[in-house]
Amino acid sequence: MSTSTRMHRRRFLGTGLSAAAIAPTVIPSSALGLDGAVPPSERIVVGGIGIGNRGTYDLGCFLEQKDVQFAAVCDVKEARRQAVKKMADDRQKNTQCTMHVDFRELLDRNDIDAVLIATGPNWHALAAVTAAKAGKDVYCEKPCSKNIAQSLLLRDTFRRTGRVFQAGTQRRNLPHFAFACELARTGRLGKIKRVYAHPAGMSAATSGWLPPEPEPAREVVDWDMYLGPAAWRPFNKRFLDGFNFEKGGGLVGGGVLEWGSHCVDLCQWAVNDRSPPSSYDPPKDGQLVSRYDDGAELIFREKGWIPLGSCPVRFEGETGWVEAGDSGKIVLSSPELMAGRTVAEIGGYPATFHVREFLDCVKSRGRTKGNADAACNAHIACHAANIAIYLGRTVRYDTAKHEFIDDAAANRLRSEALREPWLM
């Protein structure tokens, strides 16, 4: 076999996810800090903030882990508080899960090590930053930020506080996606020319206001806390779908941020979590083309995918390509790329491995795959693309200064004031 076709295992294993990497890191109990091998010292005490449909799924992944004790839930909706407490108490066979309306009460508890944040996207960044400042490690659902400024604040806060952050980008801990990214990152595809992400809709709108409806009692739904950092508007129950409410802050709608925070995130991983692209064209013929400084392209593409399930990504290099999706399958330009490797086929994008990696890093203080720096770059790419869509023209982005070049309108869309008294 020629040298040119030999696989460089070290680069693979060094940066990717081998089968072993799915297994927990082994850290002896004595290293966990309470200087004793008694079981409580091995537990990570977790609280939940905003636990709706997605959060309930995530919580299930946490509760599967033997070293997790879920101690408290915070939700502005009474029904959710009760449901989550029941779920946690039933699983843990106790009645110790406490309920809170204001997440700051939960963060004030010294016994809580980490929090799961699964509120609507309006709250994600602010809750995560507040939790980090309160000394908590954070698993935060995506999208993690509403705009570019929040993405940077999130990154800087987690650096400053030294807390562990895991974005809810669970595909980073699925073998086939990890392998696809690894092929791109380690040069097996040659120099990367294009990476493709599926945005599931490319539109941008501003968040708005609906006709007022009678506001529920604060114990049932605390509307003021639900609004949180979003500009004030009267209660309307249609806003209570946290999924669509104030998702992108200044710009809402479409799947560039919503789905991009998965697919673009994987593309960013494929290019070594480098700085985001520096130019973004508006969509044309179902494609939005953005370009990195070295000329490689990140393309948001609606159609043309091999049917591999949702969240497809494709990475094209000078010598090969790979495509992967939520079915757990990958398609390669050459079977040779698969040589020497067995990649588990796990469909359905479970978050279990991602949660486990987060917990391992809570213990080791290591860097998660969905760390705040990586999440920041991926989210900025999505926000900048949304700005290009909104303005209907090409925007150029200085990745060092984090500002658009000679573009006052685009720069104004980088951030949005938080409603008083909230600050990040």
Partner 1 sequence: MSMIRLMLAAALVAAPGLVPSALRADDAGREAELLAVLRSDKPEADKALACKGLAVHGSAAAVPDLAKLLDNERLASWARIPLEAIPDTACDAALRDAAGRLSGKLLVGVVNSLGVRRDAAAVDLLATLALDPQQDAAVAGPAAIALGKIGTVAAAAPLDKALASPAAAVRLAAAEGCVLCGEHVLAAGKTAEAVRLFEAARKADVPARRKHEATRALILARGAGGVPLLLELLAADDRASRTMGLVVARELPGAEADTALAALLGTASPNLRPLLVEALADRGGAIVRAAIVQAAAKGDRDVRLPAVRALGRVGDAGSLAPLLELAVGDDAELAAAAADAIAGLPGDGIDAAISRQIPSSSGKKLVMLLNLAAQRRIDVLPQVLEAVQSPDAAVHAAALATLGEIVDLERLPVLVQQAVKPRDEADAAAALKALKTACVRMPDRDRCAGTLAAALDAAPDATKIALLDIIGEVGGGRALEAVAAAARSGDEKLQDAGTRLLGAWMTADAGPVLLDLAKTMPQGKFQDRAFRGFLRIARQLGGTPDQKAALCRQAFAAARDADEKLFVLEAIRSVPAADTLALAVEAGAAAELREAARLAAADILTKTGDSIPGGWEKAAPLGVNRLKIEIVSATYGAGEVQRDVSDALRKRVGPTPLISMPSPAYNTCFGGDPAPGTAKKLTIRYTIDGKAGEAAFAEDAPIVLPLP
* Binding residues for partner 1 restricted to 366-405, rule: CB under 8 A: 366-367, 389-393
Amino acid (one-letter) located at 63: L
Q: Are 85 and 97 in contact (CB under 8 A)?
A: yes
The answer to the question of residue 204 lying near partner 1 (CB under 8 A) is yes
Buried b (16+ CB within 10 A) or exposed e, 213-249: eeeeeeeebbbebbbbbbeebebeeebbebeebbbbb
Please say which residue, 220 or 409, places its beta carbon nearer to partner 1.
Answer: 409
Q: Are 228 and 123 in contact (CB under 8 A)?
A: yes
Residue list 229-248, contact with partner 1 (CB under 8 A):
230-233, 236, 238-239, 241, 243-245
Q: What one-character DSSP code corresponds to residue 357? A: H
- To partner 1, the closest distance from the beta carbon of 65 in angstroms equals 19
Binding mask 165-194 toward partner 1 (x if CB under 8 A, else -) reads ------------------------------
* Stretch of residues binding partner 1 (CB under 8 A), selected from 12-20, 67-75, 81-89, 314-322: 12-20
Strand partners, 197: 300, 313
Please say which residue, 71 or 296, places its beta carbon nearer to partner 1.
Answer: 71
Q: What is the DSSP string of 117-157?
A: E-S-HHHHHHHHHHHHHTT-EEEE-SS--SSHHHHHHHHHH
The answer to the question of residue 20 lying near partner 1 (CB under 8 A) is yes
- Taking the C-alpha atoms of residue 80 and residue 74, their distance in angstroms, rounded to an integer, is 9
The answer to the question of residue 207 lying near partner 1 (CB under 8 A) is yes
Chain centroid to CA 94 = 31
The answer to the question of residue 275 lying near partner 1 (CB under 8 A) is no
Residue list 293-352, contact with partner 1 (CB under 8 A):
307, 310-311, 326, 334-336, 338-340
- Taking the C-alpha atoms of residue 20 and residue 196, their distance in angstroms, rounded to an integer, is 28
Residue 210 CB neighbours (<10 A): 12
* Stretch of residues binding partner 1 (CB under 8 A), selected from 61-69, 95-103, 292-300, 409-417: 409-417
Q: Are 366 and 25 in contact (CB under 8 A)?
A: yes
- To partner 1, the closest distance from the beta carbon of 305 in angstroms equals 12
- To partner 1, the closest distance from the beta carbon of 294 in angstroms equals 24
The answer to the question of residue 37 lying near partner 1 (CB under 8 A) is no
The answer to the question of residue 3 lying near partner 1 (CB under 8 A) is yes
Query: For partner 1, how many residues bind (rule: CB under 8 A)?
Result: 96
The answer to the question of residue 138 lying near partner 1 (CB under 8 A) is no
Q: How many CA atoms lie within 13 A of 168 on its CB side?
A: 26
